[in-house]
Amino acid sequence: MKKNIFVVPILSLVAGVISNLVFRVIVRIMDMIMYITTPEGQIIESGGGYNYIIFAVSVVLIILMGILLRKWDFDKITIFKSVTVLAVYIVVILVAFSIYYEATETSTPGAVLLEMRLSYPFSVYESIRSIILGINRNMMDFWIDRIAIVLFPYVLVLFGKSRKES
């Protein structure tokens, strides 16, 4: 049976939308409790730990995607091909907006909004990458960062079945 090579981009899009919704909810909640007043009248500023919550949500979503791929009997080669479709999409989006921002030397609200919407399929991986960047500052180099965001989705290949198991 031939498997659809667009399944990983579609699952990534769904996971990206979910992680962005969770991010928005968490930011709203954190904004409401940003400043806590103690009974003594002291104002305490709460930390911005929502990045770690988004990281945890992203890890859970990626694991769920892997479990779904395994349950649907996707083999490693098919997952690799599907992730490659996503990787090509990521490269096209990154290059297109890099060229746009270099050419215009400005970012218009419309372009930023469009970039946000088009980046939903890889936003779930981007939150994990941002935590890794926070831990390892050596990865702050522009090209290493871009290569990491393109290669990270290949972790889903680990969930695939080998040809013998199929």
Q: Would you state the pLDDT for residue 87?
A: 94
In-domain check, residue 164: no
In-domain check, residue 34: yes
pTM above 0.85, yes or no: no
In-domain check, residue 131: yes
Q: Would you state the pLDDT for residue 16?
A: 92
Q: Would you state the pLDDT for residue 11?
A: 96
Instruction: Say which range, 6-10, 20-24, 48-52, 55-59, has the weakest mean pLDDT.
Output: 48-52
Number of domains in the chain: 1
Q: Which residues of 7-22 are buried (b: 16+ CB within 10 A; e: fewer)?
A: bbbebbbbbbebbbeb
Give residue-wise pLDDT tens across range 95-140.
888 888 888 877 777 888 888 888 888 888 887 777 766 666 655 5
Helices (H), ranges, the chain:
7-32, 50-71, 76-104, 109-118, 120-135, 142-151
In-domain check, residue 13: yes
Whether the pLDDT of residue 31 is over 90: the answer is no
Cα separation, 122 vs 13, in Å, equals 7
In-domain check, residue 165: no
Average pLDDT, whole number, for the chain? 82
Q: Would you state the pLDDT for residue 89?
A: 94
Which of 38 and 134 is assigned the larger pLDDT? Answer: 134
pLDDT band at 42 (very low <50, low <70, confident <90, very high): low
> Are the beta carbons of 133 and 55 closer than 8 angstroms?
no
Using CA atoms of 3, 57, 87, 132 in order, give the dihedral in degrees to the nearest 10: -140
In-domain check, residue 2: no
In-domain check, residue 43: yes
> Are the beta carbons of 147 and 2 closer than 8 angstroms?
no
> Are the beta carbons of 47 and 136 closer than 8 angstroms?
no
Q: Which residue has the tokens 């831990």?
A: 135
Residue type, 74: F
Domain that holds residue 132: 7-159
In-domain check, residue 153: yes
